[in-house]
């Protein structure tokens, strides 16, 4: 009887306590009255939160009586802070309407921790290119907008080509910045290079682009080494309608785009997109030197075109879950810059199929990527092959035909394999499973990822004579946060372990502490990143065995062994602040110190025929199985790990709002490094002397940009000036540098505006350019806009093996209609 009374007392007491608690509920819509899914609702003082369901509804229970601040935030919209009062035993109602961010401090981001966060709370420097920025940029090349972001080394390689780097060590084959799109890797399979123009996503379907500076590999995996670029597309439930766009510009540029999205009902929605762009690159020829004579690139075609299409189906099985099925395709013809000359990319297609599930606590993702080209070739190598036949009496017809695969060696009177063709039939399979939850002030995210690369060059540039090279890797991660909302402190710890079949196991930790003070947040972070060797680095087989990847090591005839490649690592320490420092002045600043080591060397000859040292084995495989008829190779180029260097710098971004319609921005970045020239490990080419060019930073020490932005009523416009201090750039055979004596022997090793080795050196990169864009809404559905790159036609070369970027202008007419608006 006593036990029964005891339990009754507990039950009654619990009910009385529950009756003392209140709750909060409501509905969140956008400005058009459309319910908003996934909006973050946080009762700040109680540190209790919820996420809206597909009807825009939320509920938060267990609140003590009192007055609270309620923070409402969502990706693509601003952050609102509202006040409400909770009474004991009652339910209060608080509805809200989401509006565009009024200032940069109201922004919310998704990429840093794979969840919605106010931008000032993120323990990283994040640049955001919003849907509004993209919509008001009347050019088919969205990559141009990266030039307006702080801390980013942006380059143009021509009309079509744009690229970005973060915090140094750029190259013509740069895979150190990971790019993802809607939770899919946007990188080529065999080389690891970013998709760039190969992307299957069209401009009008992009919701936002988030650029994170510094290592972010904990949640995303290898190659988020210097930074991460994440593209998020629009949900058709929230962005219905049909958009038609037509654009034109100089260099014969034409573009046409269509996006259509419809919500069939509360559960089903779909979207379709299509884009076709074409034009002609600037007049420029990258000279190919054979002996003492220079030749134009054989088969050079400056016309480019790009085709993209795809679609998604969205299904909501419950109020807090969604399934998305996606398919996308792109086909590309253009010129690609590499560190061994330029490639003519011909009908290179990318296909992606994805199935993704999201709910309040679970995320599951699986997708498959196909890459295919049959006729892409290296113009430099093909030209050398062609000349070898012509100079030795072969007919034009035969020289052209054999130039794709062979080179004539007059000393021996034979043709040897020197393939210029790059075929690709590679595939990649990815999957991920994640769980996240929070218990009051403690937040947890755990997950695992699997990737299987199936690289297949049809025997043209990889060691895949026996079929595709299948390499698997698996990774697991965990990230924990502890938030003390009442004090403004936030603590984060994360770690990741990856295991790769060739380069082994790696551990990637991350630590961060943030402190909110007034209208801003201070942060201090530590992160590790790794840049992994690509399949091309590990399993390459180019030019008939002259270049072989180092995925398994080598054995020489004297018994010496060459170690296989390991990952490049970076340990990064950063402090930063983002916030409001005056009534209309906002600042985002950071300073960082990086420790990097295990770089990939330039191609080194590991044989020494003069001393009778030959290469006999690749891993455990005799060299004769790779190069038929050769039992020991007297000349073999490959990659090795070497070196370590410390780098440091800071980025600062200022935004001043003269009015709600008129804003000025200023971005400045500094980058420096310390290279120990007495450390033999820093001898990249193995010649016994460490030079500055052994570990080229390939980034300016100083860069500055200033922008003016205006949006009011039917008019919008921006004027943007960018200065990049002159800097030297070395990448493979490519040189863009001032005249200089590298080794101090009194003779200039680099000469500006002259031939240097196998390339012509036009001098350092950098300079000052001005870009502008403006537009007008003729009606709410119809707009016209124009943009100009290099407004004053300054003579600026931004990348090696690339032309001077002349003035580019484009105009765009866009019409959007929502047939389904109620």
pLDDT at 344 over 80: yes
- pLDDT at res. 11: 42
More reliable by pLDDT, 107 or 237: 237
Q: Give the chain's end-to-end CA distance (angstroms, integer).
A: 64
Give me the residue label for tokens 């697991």. 476
Residue 179 in tokens: 């790019």
633 within domain boundaries: no
Give the pLDDT score at 107. 56
The β-bridge relationship of strands 702-712 and 715-727 is: antiparallel
Give the pLDDT band (50/70/90) at residue 513: very high
Find the range with the poorest average confidence among 103-107, 428-432, 555-559, 777-781: 103-107
The answer, yes or no, to whether residue 37 has pLDDT greater than 80, is no
Q: Write out the DSSP string of 31-93.
A: TTS-B-TT-EEEETTTTEEEE--TTSEEEEEEEPSEEEEEEEE-TTS-EEEEEEEE-TT-EEE
Distances (CA, A) of 587 to 296, 383, 457, 576: 49, 52, 48, 10
32 and 129: one domain? no
| CATH number of the domain encompassing residue 50 | 2.60.40.1120
User: Rounded CA gap, 761 and 759, in Å?
Assistant: 6
Percent of the chain with pLDDT over 90: 59
| Alpha-carbon distances, residue 665 vs 150, 156, 588, 775 (angstroms) | 10, 22, 11, 20
Q: Report the distance separating Cα 194 and Cα 641, nearest Å.
A: 23
Tokens of 185: 């890797």
DSSP string, 763-792: --EEEEEEEEEEEEESSSSEEEEEEEESTT
Give residue 114's pLDDT. Answer: 59
Residue 673 has pLDDT above 60, yes or no: yes
The per-residue pLDDT for 53 is 72
Same domain, 95 and 166: no
Residues 93 and 221 in one domain: no
Region 54-63: mean pLDDT is 80
Instruction: Work out the pLDDT band at 7, boundaries 50, 70, 90.
Output: very low
Give the mean model confidence (pLDDT) for residues 176-189.
91
202 assigned to some structural domain: yes
Q: Using 50, 70 and 90 to split pLDDT, how confident is the model at 372?
A: very high
Do 293 and 441 fall into the same domain? yes
pLDDT (0 to 100) of residue 313 = 98
Name 672's Cβ contacts closer than 8 Å, sequence gap at least 6. 647, 648, 649, 701
The backbone torsions φ and ψ at residue 424, rounded to the nearest 5 degrees and listed phi first, read -150, 130
Token pair, residue 594, equals 């990086």
Residues 428 and 358 reside in one and the same domain: yes
Question: How far is the C-alpha of 78 from the C-alpha of 37, rounded, in Å?
Answer: 15
Average pLDDT of the residues in 767-794: 95
How much is the mean pLDDT over the chain? Answer: 88
The predicted structure's pLDDT at residue 222: 81
Give the pLDDT of residue 811. 97
Average pLDDT over residues 12-21: 52
Same domain? For 75 and 182 the reply is no
Both tokens assigned to 389: 């036949």
Give the helix/strand (H/E) hosting 385.
helix 379-390
Task: Look up the CATH number of the domain holding residue 766.
Answer: 2.40.170.20
Q: How far is it, in rounded angstroms, from Cα 469 to Cα 552?
A: 13
Question: Is 557 a member of any domain?
Answer: no
Is residue 318 domain-resident? Answer: yes
Give tens-digit pLDDT for 795-812: 999 999 999 999 999 999
Does a structural domain hold residue 553? no
Q: What is the pLDDT of residue 101?
A: 56
Instruction: Work out the average pLDDT over 507-526.
Output: 92
Q: What pLDDT, on a 0 to 100 scale, did the predictor assign at position 18? A: 45
CB 510 within 8 A of CB 564: no
Q: What is the mean pLDDT of residues 374-402?
A: 96
- Mean pLDDT within 488-497: 92
Greatest Cα pair distance, the chain, in angstroms, is 112
How far apart are alpha carbons 569 and 644 in whole angstroms?
9
Residue showing tokens 């510094």: 214
Q: What is the mean pLDDT of residues 162-173?
A: 88
Between the alpha carbon of residue 168 and those of residues 26, 597, 633, the distances in Å are 48, 13, 36
Beta strand pairing status for 91-93 and 22-30? parallel
pLDDT of residue 312: 98
Which percentage of the chain shows pLDDT scores above 70?
93
Which string of b and e fits 182-205 if b means at least 16 CB within 10 Å?
bbbbbbbbbbbbbbbbbbbbbbbb
> HSE (CB half, 13 Å, CA atoms) of 535?
28
Task: Map residue 396 onto helix, strand or coil.
Answer: helix
Q: Which single residue is written with the structure tokens 């199935």?
A: 355
pLDDT score of 3 more than 70: no
pTM for the structure as a whole: 0.87
Higher pLDDT, 53 or 399: 399
Residues 92 and 129 in one domain: no
Handedness of CA 385, 466, 534, 452 (dihedral sign): positive
Same domain, 75 and 215: no
Contact present, 683 and 743 (Cβ < 8 Å): no
CA 621/CA 466 separation, integer angstroms: 13
**Nearest alpha-carbon partner for 735 in 715, 754, 716, 709:** 754
Nearest to 469 by CA among 479, 457, 460: 457
Q: Given 84, 100, 116, which residue is the final one in a domain?
A: 100
Contact call for residues 370 and 378 (beta carbons, < 8 A): no
d(Cα 187, Cα 206) in Å, to the nearest integer? 18
* Structure tokens given for 520: 């801003």
Is the pLDDT assigned to residue 117 strictly greater than 70? no
Classify 531 as helix, strand or coil.
strand
Q: Which pLDDT score is estimated for 130?
A: 85
Q: Which residue has the higher pLDDT, 11 or 371?
A: 371
Are 683 and 776 contained in the same domain?
Answer: yes
What residue ranges in 729-764 does DSSP mark as E strands? 729-731, 734-736, 754-756, 759-761
The radius of gyration of the chain from alpha carbons, rounded to an integer in Å, stands at 29
| Residue 10 banded pLDDT, cuts 50, 70, 90 | very low
What gap in Å lies between CA 224 and CA 169, rounded to an integer?
A: 14
Per-residue pLDDT, averaged over 231-235, amounts to 92
- pLDDT tens digits for range 681-737: 888 777 788 887 888 889 999 999 999 999 988 999 999 999 999 999 999 899 999
Q: How far is CA 309 from CA 198, 259, 448, 532, 778, in A?
A: 12, 10, 30, 31, 28
- Tell me the C-alpha distance between 585 and 100, whole Å: 19
How many residues are given for the chain?
A: 822
> Among candidates 619, 613, 611, 617, which has minimal Cα distance to 631?
617
Name, in order, each residue with C-beta under 8 angstroms of 160's C-beta and a sequence gap of 6 or more. 141, 197, 279, 281, 304, 306, 334
Q: Which residues pair with 280 in a beta bridge?
A: 303
- Kindly state whether residue 630 falls inside one of the protein's structural domains: no
CB–CB of 176/225 below 8 Å? yes
- Average pLDDT on 166-184 reads 88
What letters, b where the CB count within 10 A reaches 16 and e where it falls short, cover 707-737? bebbbeeeebbbbbbbebbebbbbbbbbbbb
Structural domain of 489: 125-532+567-603+639-817
Element (H, E) at 398: helix 396-402
Same domain? For 37 and 141 the reply is no
The domain boundary residue, chosen from 46, 67, 100: 100
What's the average model confidence in pLDDT over 504-511?
93
Tokens 């590298």 sit on residue: 742
Residue in the structure block whose two tokens are 């039950």: 11
Give a yes or no: residue 106 inside a domain: no
Domain assignment present for residue 260? The answer is yes
Is 650 in the same domain as 593?
Answer: yes
Question: Of 66, 100, 134, which closes a domain?
Answer: 100
Residue 492, beta-bridge partner list: 481, 512
The count of domains in the chain is 2
Based on the fold, state whether residues 303 and 389 are members of the same structural domain: yes
* H/E stretch holding 219: helix 217-220
């Amino acid at each position: 009887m006593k036990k029964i009374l005891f339990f009754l007392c507990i039950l009654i007491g619990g009910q009385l306590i529950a009756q003392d608690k209140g709750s909060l509920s409501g509905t969140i819509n956008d400005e058009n009255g459309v319910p908003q899914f996934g909006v973050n609702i946080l009762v700040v003082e109680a540190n209790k939160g919820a996420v809206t369901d597909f009807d825009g509804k939320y509920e938060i229970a267990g609140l003590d009586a009192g007055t609270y601040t309620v923070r409402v935030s969502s990706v693509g919209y601003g952050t609102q802070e509202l006040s409400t009062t909770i009474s004991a035993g009652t339910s209060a109602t608080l509805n809200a309407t989401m509006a565009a961010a009024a200032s940069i401090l109201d922004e919310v981001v998704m990429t840093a921790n794979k969840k919605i966060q106010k931008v000032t709370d993120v323990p990283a420097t994040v640049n955001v290119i919003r849907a509004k920025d993209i919509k008001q940029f009347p050019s088919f090349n969205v990559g141009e907008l990266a030039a307006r972001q702080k801390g980013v080394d942006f380059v143009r390689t021509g009309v079509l080509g744009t690229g970005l780097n973060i915090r140094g060590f750029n190259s013509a084959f740069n895979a150190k910045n990971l790019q993802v799109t809607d939770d899919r890797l946007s990188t080529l399979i065999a080389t690891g290079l970013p998709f760039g123009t190969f992307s299957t996503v069209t401009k009008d379907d992009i919701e936002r682009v988030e650029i994170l500076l510094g290592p972010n590999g904990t949640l995303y995996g290898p190659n988020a080494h210097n930074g991460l670029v994440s593209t998020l597309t629009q949900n058709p439930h929230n962005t219905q309608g049909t958009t038609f766009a037509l654009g034109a510009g100089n260099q014969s540029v034409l573009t046409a785009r269509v996006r259509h999205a419809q919500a069939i009902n509360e559960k089903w929605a779909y979207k379709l997109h299509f884009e076709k762009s074409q034009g002609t690159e600037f007049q420029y020829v990258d000279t190919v030197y054979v002996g003492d004579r220079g030749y134009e690139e054989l088969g050079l075609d400056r016309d480019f075109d790009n085709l993209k299409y795809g679609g998604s189906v969205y299904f909501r099985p419950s109020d807090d879950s969604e399934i998305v099925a996606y398919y996308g395709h792109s086909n590309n013809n253009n010129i690609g810059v590499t560190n061994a000359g330029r490639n003519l990319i011909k009908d290179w297609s990318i296909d992606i199929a994805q199935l993704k599930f999201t709910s309040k606590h679970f995320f599951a993702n699986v997708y498959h990527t196909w890459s295919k080209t049959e006729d892409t070739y290296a113009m430099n190598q093909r030209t050398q092959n062609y000349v070898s036949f012509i100079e030795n009496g072969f007919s034009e017809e035969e020289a052209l035909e054999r130039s794709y695969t062979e080179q004539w060696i007059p000393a021996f009177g034979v043709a040897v394999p020197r393939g210029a063709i790059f075929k690709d039939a590679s595939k990649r399979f990815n999957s991920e499973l994640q769980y996240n939850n929070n218990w009051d002030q403690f937040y947890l995210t755990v997950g695992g990822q699997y990737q299987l690369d199936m690289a297949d060059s049809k025997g043209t540039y990889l060691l895949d004579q026996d079929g595709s090279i299948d390499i698997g890797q698996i990774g697991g991660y965990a990230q924990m946060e502890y938030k003390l909302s009442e004090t403004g402190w936030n603590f984060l710890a994360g770690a990741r372990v990856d295991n790769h079949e060739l380069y082994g196991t790696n551990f990637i930790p991350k630590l961060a502490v943030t402190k909110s003070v007034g209208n801003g947040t201070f942060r201090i972070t530590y992160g590790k990143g790794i840049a992994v060797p690509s399949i091309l680095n590990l399993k390459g087989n180019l030019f008939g065995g002259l270049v072989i990847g180092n995925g398994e090591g080598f054995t020489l005839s004297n018994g010496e062994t060459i170690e296989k490649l390991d990952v490049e690592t970076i340990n990064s320490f950063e402090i930063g602040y983002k916030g409001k420092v005056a009534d209309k002045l906002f600042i985002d600043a950071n300073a960082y110190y990086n420790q990097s080591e295990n770089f990939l060397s330039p191609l080194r000859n590991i044989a020494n025929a003069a001393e009778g040292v030959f290469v006999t084995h690749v891993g455990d495989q005799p060299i004769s199985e790779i190069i038929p008829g050769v039992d020991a190779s007297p000349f073999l180029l490959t990659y090795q790990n070497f070196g370590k260097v410390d780098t440091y710098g800071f980025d600062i971004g200022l935004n001043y709002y003269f009015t709600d319609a008129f804003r000025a921005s200023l971005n400045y970045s500094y980058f420096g490094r310390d290279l120990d020239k007495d450390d033999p490990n820093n001898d990249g080419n193995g010649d016994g002397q460490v030079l500055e060019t052994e570990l080229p930073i390939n980034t300016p020490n100083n860069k500055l940009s200033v922008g003016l932005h205006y949006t009011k009523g039917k008019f919008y416009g921006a004027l943007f000036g960018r200065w990049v201090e002159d800097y030297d750039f070395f990448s493979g055979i490519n040189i863009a540098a001032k005249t200089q004596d590298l080794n101090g022997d009194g003779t200039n090793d680099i000469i500006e505006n002259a031939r240097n080795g196998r390339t012509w050196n036009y001098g350092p990169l950098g300079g000052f350019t001005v870009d502008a864009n403006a537009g007008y809404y003729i009606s709410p559905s119809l707009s016209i806009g124009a943009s100009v790159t290099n407004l004053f036609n300054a003579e600026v070369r931004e990348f090696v093996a690339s032309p001077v970027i002349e003035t580019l202008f484009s105009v765009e007419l866009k019409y959007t209609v929502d047939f389904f608006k109620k």
